[in-house]
Each structure stands twice: as C-alpha cells, then as structure tokens.
Structure 1
Amino acid sequence: MNGAAAALRALARSSAPALLWRTVLVACLVCGIGLLPWLSRTDPALTVLRARSADRDPDPETLRAIRDQLGLDDGPLTLLGRWLGGLLHGDAGTSWVSGGPVLPGLVPALGVSLLLMAGALAVAAATAAAVCARTLRLGARGRLADRRPGGTATAVLAALPEFLVASVLVSVIGVQLGWLPALGWYGPQWMVLPSLAVGLPAGAVLGRMLDDLLPGAFAEPWAVAAAARGVPPKSVAGQAVRRCVPGLLPNLALFVVGLTGGSVAVEQIFDIPGIGRLTLHAALSQDLPVLQSGTLALVLLAAAAGALARVAARLLIGPALRDGALQSLHRPRPPAPRTLPLLYAGLLVAVIGFGLPRDPIALDTLARLQAPTPEHPFGTDALGRDVLARISHGALTTLGTALAVSAAALVVGLLLGLLPRLSRPLVDTLSAVPPVLAGLLVTGITGSGSWTPAFAVAVVAWSPLAAHTSALLRQERATTHLTATRALGAGRWYLLVHELLPAVAPPVARHALLRLPGIALSLAALGFLGLGAQPPSPDWGLLLAENQPYAERAPWAVLFPAAVLALLGALAVTAAGGARLPRRRTRPSGPAGPPADRVAPAPPQRPGRPTAHLTSVSASPTEER
C-alpha cells in the first residue's frame, strides 16, 4: 500500500503540467468533431434526414424544419457551447437522429465494448504467452543459445485482418458447425468468437515485443546467479517477465483503447452494439452529440489506461528507476538467419510479378466466381475479374503506402518519444481515436481520395512507437553504466547519440516492422468500410470487402488475398529480427590494450569540470557494440 501511495503521489507531481496540455488537446479534438459538418462543406440537415428516413424527399421545408429543430442556424460554436454546458450538469445532449438522450445509449455501448475488451485481453494474454513460451523455457534453464528466432506462425496471426478472422469464425464455427452463437450480444457465449477475432492479432504483436526483451532480462546478473544456484525455472521465468513488462505497459494501455473503440469492423460483423459501432454510425450520419460524447468517453478511457500503466510501472521498477540501478535489456543480438526473409520476399515478389502482366479490371461474365485454373491461378471474383491480377496491382499501392506510413511513423515516433512530457498527453489523446474515426474526420475535411486512408492512419500510427520509445528511454536513463558515464563528465548530447539512441532505436525499429502488416490492415479496414479507394481500384481492403460476401461460395476470392497479407506479415516479422544499428568503426588498440569494441571515446570537456576519460568504465553492451 505504501508503494502504491508513493507511486500515486509521484504521478500526481509529474502530471500537473501534462494535465493542462491534455485538456487543450481534448478540447481541440472535440471542437474539431463539432465543426465536422461545416468543415466537410455538407448540409447537416440533409445528412440527418437521410439517417432518419432514407426514402423521404429532402424538400426545402423539411430541411428548414430540421435546421430549426436542431438549431443549426445558430452556428457550430453555439451548438458546441450548449453541449459542453450540458456536460457540466450530466447531460450529453439529445441525438439528432433518434431524438433520445445520448447517455442512456452511450453507457450500455461502452459497457459492451469494455466486456469485449476484457475477453480480447484474455485471448491476447494467452496468445502472447504461447509466442514467448519457448524463449521462457530456454532462458529459465540458461539455454538461450539453443533459441532460434521464429516468426511464421506469429506473423500469420498478426497479419490476419480482424474482419476476415471474424467472417471465418461466423461462417464456420457459428453457422456451419453451430458450436457458438455468432450474431448479437446476449450473454457470455456471444463473447467468445468476437474476443478471438480481436485478441489473436493483438496477442501476436504483444508476444513478439515481449519475446524481443526477454533475452536481455535472462542475461542480467540476477538471472545468471539464480540459474546457477538452482532456483526453479518457473520462478526465474516469472521474474524475467516482471522485468520486461514495464517496457510494454504503455503499449498495453494503447491496446486497451484500441480493443475498445477500434474493433469497429468486428462489431459490425458480429452485430455487437459497442461504442465503436455507435461512434461509426454517428460519424456517418453526422450525429454530433453522440459522436462527441463517444469520442470523449474513449479519450477519458485512454487517459485512465495510461495513468494506470504509469502507476504499474512505478510499482514494478520505481526504486530502481530512482536509484539508477537497472541493467540494459538491449544487448548484442546474434546475426538473424536470412533464409526465411529471403524466401518470403521471393514468394511475395513472385506473386506480384506473375500477376502484373494481367489486366485487373477486365470483366468476364462467363467466368464469375470461377475456381483456380491454369488460366486464373487464384480464381475469379463475382464480376469475373482475375484475383491474381487484382492482388498484384493492388500490392503496388497498398505495400508502397504501408511502407511510407511505417517509415514516417518510425521517424515521428522516435523524435516525439525522446520528448515524453510533450508526447505522452498527445499519445493518450490520439490513441483514443480509432483509425476508422480518423479516416472519417480526414475524409470529411479533405474529401475522399487515394491518400486519405494513408493520412488518417499516419495520424495515429506513430503513437505506439512514441510510447515504446519513451518507456525504453526511461529505463535506459536509469541504467548503471549510464549513471557512471554521466558522472565521468559525459554531456547530454554525447549520452543521447552514443548511448541512448543505439539502445532504443533498434527495438523500436523492430517494433515498427512488426506493425507494418497492421498498418496495411488498417488501410485495408478503411477500404473494407468504404473509406478508402473506390471501385474498380484493386486496393487490398476494397478487394476483401468486395469478396467477403462470397466467402462461402468462393473462398479462394478471400483466402488468396489473406494469404498474401499473411506472407507480408511473415516477411515483416522475420526481417524485424535483423534490425540493428551498424557497428561503429573504432581505431584498433595496441597489443596490450583492451579490444577496440570495448573502448568508449572520451566525451568533450565541459566548462568548469575536469576531463574524464571513459575507458575506465566498461562500455555497456548496447545494440551498436
């Protein structure tokens, strides 16, 4: 209890300036949503009329009545002021579409999403444990030299689209086998399939991130001593997990918010009345009171999850952070095997190259939903178009866009992660905005276009990388070797360039590679929901959306695009194992001197302080050494 109280007091002291910054960000987000109809240059009355009754004629008198009823002529600022004033009295306003109060519909939707999030977290935890099981077993027995980097099964789990997993579970387990209910939300049994669809990909990503940190924990002195004294392997493995969890807690908090409001496609497929679906429908119909209230609820959830993650981190390693008594988790990695990445890259290039000469929009009505043949190796879709051709041509835009967004997210995440006081409130706020809602906001402001999904995903894609950077940087600053190096006169710039970045950048780069399939899936999800490319574009998301209704009759039209996505995930995961900084060239030492890669250069002399040479301190085993 004393530790928890101390952690809360420390968090309160450090969060006072951030609270003002977070409040400003939330206000900007809510105001931006309130201005959405006017920014998109659409008539809110017409959108609300279509949402209420699509068959009603939008005559001027009807539109005028709606404007008078909603007070649209008063302007967006007046409407926003009324909504904010109502919040102070516990009133979130009245829905523009249903005419009922917002809170009675919002609270149950939030409760449903929280239940789905809890089930998905349980599935994600089990999946992450399965991913790390081999490393835990070998590390606890001191046999990490026998460890071989995996990735294929994990990549398949991480790269499978949630909406595709949901569709397969509904059609196979729910409909054909009848083992579990598929549609609706009426009890615990209805939670199983949606939790699997949402939790499996999230658990695969978290498992890979934990598996990346575990070797460094098992190489620390306490783990070596425990293994030498015969401590039970389960105890050693448990302590290793406890040592690595603080570096993952910020991303776990982001997963909590993403699983709550970001599983819109899953809620659509399973007909779940969650807050993600409610927010999506409100955004499509421009029901501003519901949209603003739902977004505010997600922002508050993100802030609470981030605060709990920081409290948990202080409880786990707070004293070591204060005393600078940690060891670096990021040690030299053995060269990763290049066979699997080359194999996956070769297969992906072969598939794309084989389909490029084919016409992706040529129609053949006599060959609709045709099974794979020599003429059409991947079959045809509902319009008789060659699936292989559409996959290949869609790869040029989908993969290129995903690579560009991933590179931009990595750079922005690293830069803002080095400034945690600035980026942490921004991360907590943006993490509450699902890519679907970001796509709707961007589409409303800039209009629909080929780069709209990319910009929408890029707005939120950097936040997990920034959170990861901040968490690792915080631990690296509390390591013993950095404390000694700082005491010997090293300045901030020297520590950043020569110690901190070499330790933090490689794991964050591997994290960015792990998220490459996820970014491609976010782009595909926006296309699946009709917010991306429009027909007849061969975009992968649009491809899956067009063929998903025919999954039972022509499964090849969905399975082959999903297989290519899984191949991309396998390539990203196996290539991530080799992400490291190049070795720095050092001047070879004399016969009696220490090895060159164990000598650190002297930092520049600072005014008023004696010069101290860093060769007296053994250089830390960071990624660059």
Structure 2
Amino acid sequence: MRRQQVAALLWRAALAAALVCGIGLLPWLSGTDPARTVLRARSAERDATPEVLADIRDQLGLDAGPAHLLGQWLSGLVRGDAGQSWISGSEVMPDVLRALGASLLLMAVALLAAVLTAALVCARTLRLGARRRLGGRRAAGTGSAVLAALPEFLLASVLATVVAVQWGWLPALGWYGPQWTVLPALALGLPAGAVLGRLLDDLLPGAFAEPWALSATARGIPGRRVARQAVRRCLPALLPNLGLFVVGLTGGAVAVEQVFDIPGLGRTTLQAALAQDLPVLQAGTLALVLLAAVVTVGCRLAARLLTGPALRDGALSTLHRPAPPARRVQPLAYGALLTAVVALGLPRDPLALNTGERLKPPSLTHPFGTDALGRDMLARVGHGAFDTLLLALGISAATLCTGVLLGLVPRLSGALVDTVNAVPPVLAALLVTAAVGSGATTPALAVTAVGWTALAAHTSALLRQERATQHLAATRSLGAGRWYLLRRQLLPAVLPPVVRHALLRLPGIALALASLGFLGLGAQPPSPEWGLLLAENQPYAERAPWTVLTPAAALALLGALSVTAAGGLRWGGLPRGGPRWRGRRTHTPFGSEVRAPAGPPESAEDERRLTEAR
C-alpha cells in the first residue's frame, strides 16, 4: 500500500511538472516573440523597434532560452520567490496569494449557495423518500435542468443589472467586503448547485431502497433521520465531483470575475496568459494544481469516514437500479418546441442587415426581435442550432467515452483528473492554440481536453462503491472473471448515471465554446452560434433583453430536453429493483450491522407486510 501511495505521489508530481513546463514553453511553442508580446502589454503605443525589443530580451533574459528561464524560476520557487512580473515588475508571490485569497473567499460563499441550491433541488425526493412514497422515481423536475443550463456570465450580468443597478440592493463592482461576494457567489453557485442536486437526486432512490433503510423504517425510526442517512449514504459518490467544483469555482470563474471586477486567481491567470506574463501564469497554475491536490485528499478522507468499514468489507448494496419507464411527454414536447424554433428560423437570412430595425422588440415580422445590427434573432437562433448542437454533441460523446475509459482505471486517471481540472478552459485553449495553431477546431479540442474530468471522477467514485457491493462479492465467489463482472455487473450499474451526467453537462459545453469565442479563440462574428449570440448581445441586455433571452432560452430548452430524455435511461444487466439478498448482514449508517430484509417491496403483499412491521 505504501508503494502505491509513493507511486501515485510521483505520478502527480510528474504531471504537475509537465504542466508547469508546458506553460513555460508557451511563447516558444506558439512561435510568437515574447518580447513583442510583453511590449504590447506594457505600452501599446510604443513602436517595436529592434533596439526596444533587444532591451526587453536583455531585461528578461529571453536570449538564454526557455530552459534557463524555467530552471531559474524553479530555483527561486524553492526559496519562496516566484520571480517578478514581466509586465508590472512587481513580485509575483504576493500578487498571486492575494488573488488566491479572493478566489477562495468567493469559492466558499459560492459553495454555500451551491449546497443550498442542491438541497432545494432534492427536497421533494427527500420528502417522498422519508414517507416511503418514492417508488423508484426521481422527483426533481426540469427546473433544475434549466437552472444548470444558465450561463454564468449571463446570470452575473442579470444580477448586476437588476439587483445592483436597478434595485440598488447590493453593490455590483469591486471587492471591498462581504456584501460584494453575494452576487458573484450566486452567479457561480446556482448553476453548480443545480448540477450537484441533479446528481444527488439520481442516487437517492437507490439509497431509500437499500435494506438498511427498509429495516430502519420497519423499526419505526423517523423518516427525517432516514432521509439524513440516505444523503450521507450518497455523498461518497458525489465528493469527487464536489472537489472538482471547488477547484473550478476557484480558477474557472473568469467570466464572473470579469463582470464584477474581482481580482481573483482566474482573472489574474487569464490576463497573464493573454499577455504571456510567464512568471505570473506559472505561479497561478501551480497554485491551482496544489489546491486540486489538497481538495482531492480531503474528499477521499471524507469519503472513507462517511462509508466506514462497509467499503473495506464489501458489504454495500448497489445504489443504481434500472430507472422506471421514462415520461415520454416532456422530452417530446421540448424536442418539438426546439425543432419548431429551428424550422421557423432556417428560411430567414441570419446575416441580413437592416440598420433601421435595430433592437426592435418581438413582433409578427420578427418574432424574436432584432439585434444591434437589425438582424433577425429568430433566423440567427435557428441557423446557429446546427453549429451549437452538432459540435456540443460531438464533444459530449468524446468526453463521455474518455471519461468512462479513464474512470475505469482510477490509479492512472486520479492524478490526471486533478491536474487537468486545475487548468481553466481558457488556458487550455491557449495551450492548444500554441501546439496546433488557431482554427475552427481549437475550441473543440480545448473543451474536450478538460471536459472529461468530471465524468472520469464520477465513474471512478461509482466504480469504487459498486466493487464493494454484496452481489458482486457473491458473483466473484462463484468464479466469475473480471471481464464478466465488468460487462454484466459494473458497467450496467455505472454507465446510466454517468450518461445522465454527460447529458446534463451538454449545455455547459456549448457555453464553454461560447466563452472561448468571446475571447477570440473560438467562433467569430458573424457566426450565429448560440453562445456567441449571448456574448455579442450582453451589452444590450438592459435595453433589449430579448437579444439575450432568446439564445439563453434555447440553451435552457436544450438542457431540459437533455435531462428529460435521459431520465428514463435503462440498462438490462441488473434485475429490476436491484439485487436481492435474503438474510444477509449489512452495514448501516445507524450502527454496526443489521440483518437486512428481503429487499424493496415489489408487490402488494410485500407492501402489506412492511406496513404491519411498522
């Protein structure tokens, strides 16, 4: 065991070193002149004469090459010195620590908002489960899916405009005290909490159907206590994704920090990446990698404490049972509505300009209104559906396959997930651009490179718990091989929730592509891509809200369609209701162990017996 821990630590250190070295080589990989980039960042009006560029190279030591600069930076880092900024000339370490402190405070408040949002999403499921009226259903509605599909920068703009400017309840810009954390924390925490709530809601029916929950109910234990222990039973499978959210809320909150003018680590790292200020960029990335390592260790310790000896003894029951038949009305309705919008927009010209019709509200001529150039919004939404949906679906499929495959080998992917998740998508896009050049495929490669981490972490967490289930131990004792267990037991239990997770993230992938296009690394005007429509029309949100609401509504409709279509996803490898084991002892959150009943009631006679036991 100690040898494995040492190997994992060395693997993690090697990945962090490779990432830092890759960032140190960024200007040379991209083929740009670092001296010219630094001069443009310092003073855009100054001419880039050979003498000026030579003076900058001499000041920064660029002529010595990237290896010398990287070695000098690492040697100073050992002494606690991260060097000086190439742009401002100030010490890097104090600036990065201040930015990290602001991001950690924002992350803590946003995480609180996310937890409260997740609790509201799962409230109905917990209430039904405590009353034994769940019946295998997932009670969360499509409202949480719509909330999860809301763009963070759009939510931040709406909160800043309505709550701060129009109502005057809270400050909008700056970072001067606790009041300034509320709006950005809500912009970050509400979508993240909706995603976490959907994932938890996906696990709760299985927890309420476990033998310990039925036994506790039969003994007359209050439903609220059973519901609390059901949440505790599901948390170990969610902790890896919660850790990824923590790191993402710290380093990936670039758009929100830009809207609210917050001097956080994400914004500092982005500005350093665009200006190729390597000392600041390397220090910021290293801080994110170290934060990811600390959060991962904390999540693993918390998972062990919550699960207890059941994980070691193989005494768990599977949480993943085949879903009930899907409600076909909702996905058909959402799909028909989305199809109708696209079909009505395709005959119209998305590039036709009419300056006399600028920012016109919705009417019979323009059902979705017009934008700042007089272009029909219905046409732009309809034509942008192909770019948005096809690219997002392709990236989702690639991230799902990559996440599942790497999640099946957690010893290899654990450290890789932590390291890659510490890289904001914008920085990943810059690295991809430096390696393969800019183009239409750059944003897709960048989002794919970082988008698989949450799915891999989810797969590994579910696989770890599923391997400790009773039915798997029994099947293994009968002589089943690894391939049989993987194909007939593990994958049927793990794949459906991971696929639902991937579909829930489908609108987020479209938004990630949009954010890269907004920064000049993805789709460019006059492309009608939905995310780009949000970015283009954001300045007119107060004057002409329809220019932002229409593409946002299309993304929210896409999120609702994805979740409702995946809600009834089934897999035929497990019997309906899950494996049933009579008379076995099983670990329970209420004590050491109890003798489990037969399993979930599947008939009126079973329900009558359970009622009599109560």
TM-score bracket relative to the smaller structure: over 0.9
Name the CA distance, whole Å, in 1 between partners of 2:378 and 2:438.
27
Map 1:204-603 → 2, pairs under 5 A: 204-582=194-572
Aligned to 2:180: 190
- Name which of 132, 137, 147 aligns with 1:157: 147
Question: Which amino acid counterpart does residue 557 of structure 2 have in structure 1?
Answer: L
- Look up the SS of the partner of 1:240 in the other structure: helix
Per-residue deviation, 1:93:
0.8
CA separation of 1:253 and 1:513: change in aligned 2, threshold 3 A: same
Q: Give yes or no for the alignment of 1:103 onto 2:111.
A: no
Aligned length: 584
CA separation of 1:161 and 1:464: change in aligned 2, threshold 3 A: same
Question: Which amino acid counterpart does residue 37 of structure 2 have in structure 1?
Answer: T
Q: Give yes or no for the alignment of 1:68 onto 2:58.
A: yes
Name the CA distance, whole Å, in 1 between partners of 2:160 and 2:117.
21
Return 492-501 or 111-120, whichever deviates more.
Answer: 492-501
Name the CA distance, whole Å, in 1 between partners of 2:345 and 2:321.
43
Name the CA distance, whole Å, in 2 between partners of 1:598 and 1:468.
22
Please give the per-residue CA displacement for 1:490-524, whole angstroms capped at 9, x wherever unaligned.
11111111111111111111111111111112112
The answer to whether the Cα contact below 8 Å between 2:358 and 2:373 also exists between their aligned partners in 1 is yes
Aligned to 1:203: 193
Name the CA distance, whole Å, in 2 between partners of 1:620 and 1:141.
17
CA separation of 1:565 and 1:428: change in aligned 2, threshold 3 A: same
Name the CA distance, whole Å, in 1 between partners of 2:520 and 2:531.
9
Per-residue deviation, 1:145:
2.6
Question: Which amino acid counterpart does residue 479 of structure 2 have in structure 1?
Answer: G
Aligned to 2:114: 124
Question: Which amino acid counterpart does residue 212 of structure 1 have in structure 2?
Answer: D
Let me know the Cα RMSD of the aligned residues: 2.0
The answer to whether the Cα contact below 8 Å between 2:122 and 2:140 also exists between their aligned partners in 1 is no
The answer to whether the Cα contact below 8 Å between 2:136 and 2:206 also exists between their aligned partners in 1 is no
Please give the per-residue CA displacement for 1:60-83, whole angstroms capped at 9, x wherever unaligned.
111111111011111111111111
Name the CA distance, whole Å, in 1 between partners of 2:374 and 2:230.
55
The answer to whether the Cα contact below 8 Å between 2:433 and 2:442 also exists between their aligned partners in 1 is yes
Aligned to 2:134: 144
Please give the per-residue CA displacement for 1:272-324, whole angstroms capped at 9, x wherever unaligned.
00000000000000000000000000000001111111111111114111111
Question: Which amino acid counterpart does residue 112 of structure 1 have in structure 2?
Answer: A
Q: Give yes or no for the alignment of 1:86 onto 2:59.
A: no
Per-residue deviation, 1:576:
1.9
Aligned to 2:163: 173
- Look up the SS of the partner of 1:93 in the other structure: coil
Please give the per-residue CA displacement for 1:501-550, whole angstroms capped at 9, x wherever unaligned.
11111111111111111111211222233321111111222211111011
Per-residue deviation, 1:598:
8.7
Question: Which amino acid counterpart does residue 474 of structure 2 have in structure 1?
Answer: A
Name the CA distance, whole Å, in 2 between partners of 1:85 and 1:201.
41
CA separation of 1:392 and 1:620: change in aligned 2, threshold 3 A: farther
The answer to whether the Cα contact below 8 Å between 1:306 and 1:428 also exists between their aligned partners in 2 is yes
Name the CA distance, whole Å, in 2 between partners of 1:417 and 1:228.
38
Question: Which amino acid counterpart does residue 563 of structure 2 have in structure 1?
Answer: V
Q: Tell me the TM-score normalized by structure 1.
A: 0.91
Name the CA distance, whole Å, in 2 between partners of 1:149 and 1:527.
37
Please give the per-residue CA displacement for 1:117-144, whole angstroms capped at 9, x wherever unaligned.
0011000000000000001011011111
Name the CA distance, whole Å, in 2 between partners of 1:235 and 1:400.
46
Per-residue deviation, 1:580:
2.2
Name the CA distance, whole Å, in 2 between partners of 1:189 and 1:449.
42
The answer to whether the Cα contact below 8 Å between 2:124 and 2:139 also exists between their aligned partners in 1 is no
- Look up the SS of the partner of 1:370 in the other structure: coil
Name the CA distance, whole Å, in 1 between partners of 2:69 and 2:245.
33
Name the CA distance, whole Å, in 1 between partners of 2:224 and 2:50.
73
Q: Tell me the TM-score normalized by structure 2.
A: 0.92
Name the CA distance, whole Å, in 2 between partners of 1:151 and 1:400.
26
Per-residue deviation, 1:146:
8.7
CA separation of 1:274 and 1:388: change in aligned 2, threshold 3 A: same
The answer to whether the Cα contact below 8 Å between 1:138 and 1:147 also exists between their aligned partners in 2 is no
Name the CA distance, whole Å, in 2 between partners of 1:207 and 1:14.
34
Name the CA distance, whole Å, in 2 between partners of 1:308 and 1:27.
22
Return 278-287 or 475-484, whichever deviates more.
Answer: 475-484
Aligned to 1:613: none
The answer to whether the Cα contact below 8 Å between 2:531 and 2:551 also exists between their aligned partners in 1 is no
Please give the per-residue CA displacement for 1:566-588, whole angstroms capped at 9, x wherever unaligned.
1011111111212222469x9xx
Please give the per-residue CA displacement for 1:423-448, whole angstroms capped at 9, x wherever unaligned.
00100100101112111222233333
Question: Which amino acid counterpart does residue 179 of structure 1 have in structure 2?
Answer: W
Q: State the percentage of identical aligned residues.
A: 72
The answer to whether the Cα contact below 8 Å between 2:34 and 2:276 also exists between their aligned partners in 1 is yes
CA separation of 1:219 and 1:365: change in aligned 2, threshold 3 A: same
Per-residue deviation, 1:148:
5.9
Aligned to 1:23: 13
The answer to whether the Cα contact below 8 Å between 1:251 and 1:467 also exists between their aligned partners in 2 is yes
The answer to whether the Cα contact below 8 Å between 2:359 and 2:371 also exists between their aligned partners in 1 is yes
Per-residue deviation, 1:94:
0.7
Please give the per-residue CA displacement for 1:438-495, whole angstroms capped at 9, x wherever unaligned.
1122223333322211110100111111111111111111111111111111111111
Per-residue deviation, 1:147:
4.7
Per-residue deviation, 1:151:
3.0
The answer to whether the Cα contact below 8 Å between 2:136 and 2:324 also exists between their aligned partners in 1 is no
Per-residue deviation, 1:13:
6.3
The answer to whether the Cα contact below 8 Å between 1:218 and 1:240 also exists between their aligned partners in 2 is yes
Please give the per-residue CA displacement for 1:389-435, whole angstroms capped at 9, x wherever unaligned.
11111111111111001101111111111100000010010010111
Question: Which amino acid counterpart does residue 500 of structure 2 have in structure 1?
Answer: R
Per-residue deviation, 1:619:
13
Per-residue deviation, 1:223:
0.6
Per-residue deviation, 1:620:
11
**Alignment gaps of 5+ in structure 2:** 581-596, 601-614
Name the CA distance, whole Å, in 2 between partners of 1:444 and 1:322.
46
Aligned to 2:608: none
Name the CA distance, whole Å, in 2 between partners of 1:154 and 1:330.
21
Question: Which amino acid counterpart does residue 200 of structure 1 have in structure 2?
Answer: L
Aligned to 1:602: none
Return 422-431 or 432-441, whichever deviates more.
Answer: 432-441
Question: Which amino acid counterpart does residue 452 of structure 1 have in structure 2?
Answer: T
